[in-house]
Each structure stands twice: as structure tokens, then as C-alpha cells.
Structure 1
Amino acid sequence: MSDLKLLYQDDHLVVVHKPAGLLVHRSWLDKGETRFAMQMTRDLVGRHVFPVHRLDRPTSGLLLFALDPQTANRLSQAFAQHQVSKEYLAVVRGWTPAQHYIDYPLKEELDPIADRFCDPNKPAQAAQTWLQTLAKVELPFAVSPRHPSSRYSLVRLRPHTGRKHQLRRHLAHLSHPIVGDTTHGDGRHNQFFRQQFGSHRLLLLHHCLTFRHPHLGIPIQCRTELDPELQTLWAQLGWF
């Protein structure tokens, strides 16, 4: 796992690139972990930081922190009111349509321990994701016994809502699961990428974040480069 990288900082907020496999903050569900993005960012900038949004442990890419409680409150409200634009890149199974708007409500995923007091019968919540296909590839490997070759797509994803595991669940709903997703994905294709390309991670990157500065009122757009592992994989698939 590579180190966390500082991409942007001012008097009120900081943006870092979180590597895949790193937790955002300490969790009692992962008691054995000793490295966390929140503590690493604090040590990097020399100030206490406040998380304002989620980024799943297996997902890499942009992570925004506030540097004071007032900024944290304003940014959290901006996320809740869908005033922040997030853009992801993902490798998925199959050939996806050129563009597609996914409007599929999702029931809240409950942890049997952490959410044991939550209502399991809570209605599904609205969830929308916009998808655009950037590249496709067909490989001469019969990963599935029903097909002599295997197809994959590189897609851009823009979630309009922020449900738990929304992108992973929406792509699985389309029968185009994200490669490397061990919860909602296809184990055969995950194993193929491990054996053929040495890829042992979820192929999902949060690569663009756009929002209005909570104090200055100016638009801020942050982008991150592909992880070295993803750069190598893209090249192997012919996606330059």
C-alpha cells in the first residue's frame, strides 16, 4: 500500500489522495489496524482534521478534510445537499452502454453488530448514478464457461446521491460489477485479474472532486493521477 499524498491545502481545508486499503479513521470493527488516513493527514499538515465525507477502505483517490469545526459543518451540509460533484473511474465486467443514468433505490446495508438497533425494514432510499463509457477491451480468456472471451469496460461514474456502497451496488445491479469487488462483484473475474495482472484491489478511483469553497465562495476542483498500480493495469489493457 502506497503512502497518502497531500494534493491541496489552505487555511480551512485539505485534500489528500488515499491509497486503496487504507481506512479513513479508526473503527472498532478493524481493531488490528494501526494506519488511518485521518491521523496520517493530521501528522502531514500538523493540525487536527475533521472528516466530512466517506471513502470506502478499498477505494483509492480524493479525500477531503476540514481544518476547523465551522468548515466541517459547512462542507458536511454541502455534501448532504448534493452541492459537491464527485467523479470516479472504474473497471467493470462486460461492455457498458455509451451513457446510462442509473436510478435504482437502495436499501440501507446494515452491519449485524454496529447496526443491530437499526430498523431492517426501512424503505429503500433514492439513489442515482450517471455512467459514461470511456474504453472497452475484449481479452482472449474464457473466464466464464459460457463465453470464449472476456469483456471489460472503463467507465466514468458520477453519483448524484451518496448511499453506502452506491457505486458498487449500482454496477452490480446492471450486471456490470466492478472488478475486485469481493462483496458485490464476480469472484471469477476478480480471481482472473489477480492471476493475470497481479491486481488484488477494487478497481475504483475517486479522481475528481468539485465544490464551492465554504468561506471564499470560489469553485474548487481537485483531480488526482492514477495510482501506479492502475497506470500499469490500464497499459496492459491498452487504455493509454
Structure 2
Amino acid sequence: MLSVERNFEIPVLFQDEQLIVVDKPVGLAVHKNDFMPHDAPYLTKLVGDLTGRWIYNVHRLDAKTSGVIVLAFSPEVAKELTLQFERKEVAKKYVAVVQGNPGEGVFSDKVLVKKKTKFKKPAVTRFKALESVETAISYKDKTGIVLSLVEIIPETGRWHQIRQHFARNRFDIVGDTHHGDFTLNKIITEKTGSNRLLLHAASLEFTHPGTQMRQAFTSPLPEEFKKVLEGCSHLI
């Protein structure tokens, strides 16, 4: 466990001379961007400071998304891992709490490629509802809102792909302040105290560039997901 500034703790799932796999906490950006304060912490810097190594980013997780992420200690290893993502040789699995019960299926509608643009690209997201709870949450024309814990497998890696797909199909991810249901988010925060995006990178499997062995890493379901599902299911 790497304990870092501003109360971020970064569990290390695996580390060797070539790469490190960590469980990224919610609210921590992976790398520096122009929208952050100049002194804001970010994952690659913190892991680099604590390991004493240069860190090379391989793939992305939004700051608001927690979970498993792999980082490389050299540009060569980073390039090989990045190619695995591009060739769709990496198995990724997410979990989320969403509004409604989407059942099992595939979203394949195009999504925006970045913020403040109208350009879209094809995207594919597979999903399966694992469990659902009924609540007494009602507002506007909605009554007895259902919340579901959903397993998600993105086959492409577009900007906010999962969040866009679920919002466009009216299964908004709880806590999504960019694409989601703002009224529902506010109600759940008032009832449970949770104000995070309930989207978590639960597992990651790839081929180690050095050993050529497949390696899989998992992160447990965050307690806040359980807190929201259990808390809302008992609302009366």
C-alpha cells in the first residue's frame, strides 16, 4: 500500500522491474492535464515519487473512476502494453450502479470522441445486470426507481464510452455529473452521503511483455457501491 499526500492511498496489486499494477482511488487523475491546479496530485507522479522510477502511462481511467490500472517503468514496455490494448488483447471488466435494470446485452451506438465536439465514433459496450433493488425514490414522472449493479465489458475504448452509452440508453450511472441524471444523483447523495461516480474498473488481464504470461488482477467492489444499494433499497 502506497500512502500518499492528500489522503490518497494506492494499493499495489503487482510490481516487478518492468511494470506496476495499482488500484487507483477515486478522485485521482492518472496524469496531469490543463484543467488541474498546478500543484494537484496525479497518479503517475505519485507512483513515480514513491517508487523512485520514471512512470509511463499505458491506458486511461477517468479521475472519477476507481480500480485496476497498469503503469510501465520504460517506454518500451509501455508501447508493448499499449499495442495490446489497441489490438484488443486486453480483457477489461467494470462494475457500475445504474438507474433501472438493463438486463443483458450490447450497446453499439456511436459516442462522442471528446468533450465539446459533435464528432462521433463507433463504440461497443457489453453489459449484464448482476442484481437489482427497488427503492421508494420518486420524482417527476418516475416512481419506485430501480437501481442495478451491472457488469460491463467495453470492447472499444472511447472517451467516457461507458458513461455515454448508459446515459443515452436511459440507464444513467449513479453519480455521473457529466452525462447522468442530476436529480437522481442529488437525491441519492442526500439519502446516503455518496457523491462519487459509481463506476469501477474491477479487473484487468494482459500478457506480461517480459514473461509472455497472461496475468489477471482484480479489485473488490468499493464499499460505497454496497452502501448506496443497501441504503436505497431500505428507503421508505
Q: Please indicate, yes or no, whether the TM-score normalized by the shorter chain is above 0.5.
A: yes
Comparing 152-161 and 25-34, the one that deviates more: 25-34
Q: Cα gap change, 1:230/1:2 in structure 2, threshold over 3 Å: closer, same or farther?
A: farther
Q: What SS is found at the alignment partner of 1:27? A: coil
1:130 maps to 126
Q: How much does 1:105 deviate?
A: 1.6
Q: How much does 1:20 deviate?
A: 0.9
Q: How much does 1:228 deviate?
A: 3.6
> C-alpha offsets along residues 157-181 of structure 1, whole Å, 9 cap, x if unaligned?
0000000000000001211010100
Please tell me whether residue 53 in structure 1 is matched to residue 59 in structure 2: yes
Please tell me whether residue 30 in structure 1 is matched to residue 31 in structure 2: no
Of 206, 229, 233 in structure 1, the residue corresponding to residue 224 of structure 2 is 229
> C-alpha offsets along residues 99-145 of structure 1, whole Å, 9 cap, x if unaligned?
1111112232245xxxxxxxx565x3220010011000111121x23
Of 5, 9, 12 in structure 2, the residue corresponding to residue 6 of structure 1 is 12
Q: How much does 1:31 deviate?
A: 2.3
Partners of 1:208 and 1:6 in 2: CA distance: 14
> C-alpha offsets along residues 191-210 of structure 1, whole Å, 9 cap, x if unaligned?
01110110111000001001
Q: How much does 1:48 deviate?
A: 1.2
Matches within 5 A, 1:174-185: 174-185=169-180
- Percent of counterpart pairs with the same letter? 33
Partners of 2:221 and 2:38 in 1: CA distance: 28
Q: Cα gap change, 1:107/1:48 in structure 2, threshold over 3 Å: closer, same or farther?
A: same
Please tell me whether residue 87 in structure 1 is matched to residue 93 in structure 2: yes
Kept in 2: contact 1:18–1:63 (CA 8 A):
yes
Gaps of at least 5 residues in structure 2 are 1-6
Partners of 1:41 and 1:5 in 2: CA distance: 11
Of 186, 204, 209 in structure 2, the residue corresponding to residue 214 of structure 1 is 209
Partners of 1:167 and 1:4 in 2: CA distance: 24
2:45 maps to 39
1:188 maps to 183
Q: What SS is found at the alignment partner of 2:79? A: helix
Q: TM-score, length-normalised on structure 2?
A: 0.90
Matches within 5 A, 1:138-153: 138-142=134-138, 144-153=139-148
2:109 maps to 104
Of 158, 168, 174 in structure 2, the residue corresponding to residue 173 of structure 1 is 168
Corresponding letter in the other structure for 1:125: K
Partners of 1:171 and 1:164 in 2: CA distance: 13
1:115 maps to none
Gaps of at least 5 residues in structure 1 are 112-119
**Aligned residue-pair number:** 227
Q: Cα gap change, 1:51/1:186 in structure 2, threshold over 3 Å: closer, same or farther?
A: same
Partners of 1:128 and 1:196 in 2: CA distance: 34
Kept in 2: contact 1:4–1:17 (CA 8 A):
yes
1:75 maps to 81
Q: Cα gap change, 1:140/1:234 in structure 2, threshold over 3 Å: closer, same or farther?
A: closer
Kept in 1: contact 2:23–2:68 (CA 8 A):
yes
Please report the RMSD computed on the Cα atoms of aligned residues, expressed in angstroms: 1.7
Partners of 1:199 and 1:32 in 2: CA distance: 28
Partners of 2:51 and 2:230 in 1: CA distance: 34
